[in-house]
């Protein structure tokens, strides 16, 4: 959708036309723009992606089931998702904001449900994320996260057959390394630096969710993958929720195979190198 068509679309939706549309960086699917209006309103407009209505649904569910800071949805359909613009600082949050993030995630992960999965399938970026209800976490992680992502990667040619076979072997013996959670926790599902917005000492928004109910360790692991969080985050998190011993020794690296597979399929086969290193540690 070009700028002229988008401006006209926003005028139809909102009853006012933006003075300026600015493309925002960091989008992995579709186009994301900031719309500035004469009355000072600033909005984020997403177009050109297949999952905009699903993103609106996930944001609504996350708002219903948690107190997480989220952008307000102004409008959402298959063609355009219009969100509140959250003013934020660039880069990784500082110590105070890290502690705020730790408290927010501990509260989010304290939201419990009796079953793993979700009432509907979601996406991580543009990639399908199946969420069938499951009584146990380990079979769910093995089949619906690792094996699913590997199968799709092999089908499209981004994941080698050799790597797929090694990950399949790991999926069959996860009970040697991982454990079931005390309860399924509500997960944002895609928290890295770009989706954890901060302003000064506060987290102001968790954006682009990929929600489901699962083990909080998979979320905590991903948040360390690109140095999004520091020890300040974990100290605040531990003050509210325990992290079982051994998480940082091996389980974190096993869980990060999943987001690394996402990056292999999205961006570059180079993301398979840390996967290979973890598998070698396991003798696979």
* Structural domain spans, the chain: 3-84, 95-281
pLDDT at site 4: 83
pLDDT score for 123: 96
**Helix 257-266 × helix 216-225 angle, to 10°:** 50
Work out the angle at residue 234's Cα, subtended by the Cα atoms of residues 232 and 240, and round it to the nearest 5 degrees.
115
Average pLDDT rounded to a whole number, residues 252-259: 98
243 class by beta-carbon count within 10 Å (0-12 exposed, 13-18 middle, 19+ buried): middle
State residue 49's pLDDT score: 81
Radius of gyration over alpha carbons of the chain, in Å? 19
CATH class of the 3-84 domain in this structure: alpha beta
- Tell me how far apart the alpha carbons of residues 101 and 105 are, in angstroms, rounded to a whole number: 6
Q: What is the pLDDT of residue 76?
A: 86
Averaged pLDDT for residues 20-28:
79
Find the mean pLDDT for residues 84-94.
Answer: 94
Residue in the structure block whose two tokens are 């068509």: 5
Contact in structure between 212 and 187 (CB atoms under 8 Å):
yes
Tokens of 183: 């309860």
Residue 203 neighbours by CB under 8 Å, 6+ apart? 69, 93, 97, 100, 101, 104, 196, 197
Report pLDDT for 114: 85
Fold equal for 3-84 and 95-281: no
Interatomic CA distance for residues 145 and 163, integer angstroms: 15
pLDDT at residue 163, rounded to an integer: 97
CA dihedral 191, 197, 200, 201 (to 10 degrees): -40
Strand order of the sheet with strand 31-36? 20-23, 31-36, 42-47, 80-84, 73-76
For 35-79, what is each residue's pLDDT tens digit?
999 999 999 999 888 889 999 999 999 999 999 999 999 998 888
Active site residues: 190
Q: For 128-174, what is each residue's pLDDT tens digit? A: 999 999 999 999 999 999 999 999 999 999 999 999 999 999 999 99
126-155 core/surface letters (b: 16 or more CB in 10 A; e: else): ebebebeebeebbebbbebbbbbbbeebee
State the pLDDT at residue 26. Answer: 62
Q: How confident is the model at residue 104, as a pLDDT?
A: 98
- Could you read off the pLDDT of 192-248 as tens digits, one per residue? 999 999 999 999 999 999 999 999 999 999 999 999 999 999 999 999 999 999 999
CATH 3.30.1440.10 fits 95-281, yes or no: no
Q: What is the phi-psi region of residue 37: left when phi exceeds 0, alpha when psi lies from -120 to 50, beta otherwise?
A: beta
Q: What is the pTM of this model?
A: 0.94
Residue 265 reports pLDDT greater than 70: yes
Lowest mean pLDDT among 2-11, 12-21, 249-258: 2-11
pLDDT score of 258 more than 90: yes
What is the per-residue pLDDT for 135? 95
């Amino acid at each position: 959708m070009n700028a002229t068509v988008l401006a006209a679309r926003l005028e139809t939706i909102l009853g006012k036309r933006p003075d300026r549309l600015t493309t925002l960086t960091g989008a992995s699917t579709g186009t994301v723009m900031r719309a500035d209006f004469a009355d000072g309103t600033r909005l984020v407009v997403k177009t050109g992606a297949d999952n905009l209505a699903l993103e609106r649904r996930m944001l609504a569910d996350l708002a219903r089931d948690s107190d997480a800071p989220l952008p307000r949805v102004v409008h959402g359909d298959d063609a355009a998702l219009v969100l509140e613009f959250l003013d934020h600082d660039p880069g990784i949050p500082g110590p105070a904001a890290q502690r705020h993030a730790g408290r927010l995630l501990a509260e989010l992960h304290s939201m419990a449900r009796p079953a793993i999965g979700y009432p509907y399938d979601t996406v991580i970026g543009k990639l399908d994320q199946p969420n069938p209800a499951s009584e146990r976490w380990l079979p769910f992680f093995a089949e619906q996260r690792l094996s699913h992502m590997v199968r799709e990667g092999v089908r499209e040619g981004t994941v080698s057959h050799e790597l797929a076979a090694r990950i399949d072997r790991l999926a069959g013996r996860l009970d040697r390394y991982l454990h079931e959670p005390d309860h399924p926790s509500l997960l944002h599902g895609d928290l890295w630096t770009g989706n954890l917005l901060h302003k000064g000492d506060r987290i102001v928004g968790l954006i682009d969710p990929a929600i489901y109910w699962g083990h909080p360790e998979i979320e905590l692991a991903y948040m360390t993958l690109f140095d999004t969080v520091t020890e300040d985050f974990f100290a605040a998190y531990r003050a509210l929720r325990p992290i079982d011993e051994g998480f940082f020794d091996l389980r974190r690296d096993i869980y990060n195979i999943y987001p690394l597979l996402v990056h292999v399929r999205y961006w570059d086969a180079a993301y398979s190198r840390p996967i290979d290193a973890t598998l070698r540690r396991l003798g696979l």
